Amino acid sequence: MRYVLDILLLLLLIFEMSFLYLPPFFHELIGSALLVPIVVHLWQNRFYLKALVKGRWSLPRLFSTAVNLLLAVSCLTSIISGCLISNVLFADIVPLSLRSNPVLFSIHSASARYFLVFAGLHFGLHAGGWWQNLQKAAGIKSRPFPAKILAGLVVLLIAMSGIYAALQDELLERLQGVHIFMAPALQYDAFGYGLTQFGIFLLFAEIGWLFLWLLRQRRT
């Protein structure tokens, strides 16, 4: 159930990031509906939240907590700003002065990209567990040397694809709050643009996994 929920959250996030290919109603509906699996995810990890005040704060723990905190901030900022600029679901509640505020549009656009980035970093923190479960499901008890080489090539390919996707969508500029009228990635169809967002997610998942691994190596 936990893994199904994680996959559902990822799919909803990719759909949301492909908002230009969705009717406004569905974009706002999916954005609001994201709160449900997010709350369930937090409930499933409530013991982690309770344990934050206990134990020593090692570098890996500091990094993980910082990523999770920034993920929560970017998520809430994206959802709240999205509600404030709503033209469909909340149009009768939010004043026109807010709905047409260009600053809120910039905040929503940038926070959505930060949400994607920190979601990828957050996934990277747990990538080792996912990999072990995949190995177990495939009946692989250990990784022979050729498999390690293949895994390394896959990691390199994902990184190269993610960097290309980030450049195509002008991610750096979007994170700075710049309004992008026509990024190269917008020339793709809906499926292609969704793959671009997925590539960015995987890139930062790799970065999160690698950075956490380096911190753990330093500790040992």
**Helix runs in the chain, H state only:** 2-17, 24-33, 35-44, 46-50, 59-84, 96-99, 102-125, 127-137, 145-168, 171-175, 190-219
Give yes or no for a contact between 108 and 119, defined as CB atoms under 8 angstroms apart: no
What domain range is 172 assigned to? Answer: 2-49+58-219
What is the token pair recorded at 144? Answer: 């022979």
- Contacts with 51 (C-beta within 8 Å, 6 or more apart), sequence order: none
Print pLDDT tens along the chain (220 aa): 667 888 888 999 998 999 888 888 889 888 888 888 888 888 887 777 677 777 788 888 899 999 999 999 999 999 999 989 988 888 888 888 888 888 888 999 999 999 999 999 999 988 776 666 666 665 666 566 666 676 677 778 888 999 999 999 999 999 988 887 788 998 999 999 999 999 999 999 999 999 998 988 876 5
CA distances from 68 to 108, 115, 168 (A): 19, 11, 27
Q: What is the Cα–Cα distance from 73 to 77, expressed in whole angstroms?
A: 6
Q: Domain count for the chain, please give it.
A: 1
CA distances from 48 to 1, 18, 43, 98, 159 (A): 18, 32, 10, 37, 30
Dmax over CA atoms of the chain, in Å, equals 62
Q: What is the Cα–Cα distance from 120 to 67, expressed in whole angstroms?
A: 10
Give yes or no for a contact between 186 and 103, defined as CB atoms under 8 angstroms apart: no
Query: Residue 27 carries which side chain, given as an amino acid letter?
Result: H
What is the token pair recorded at 151? Answer: 């895994």
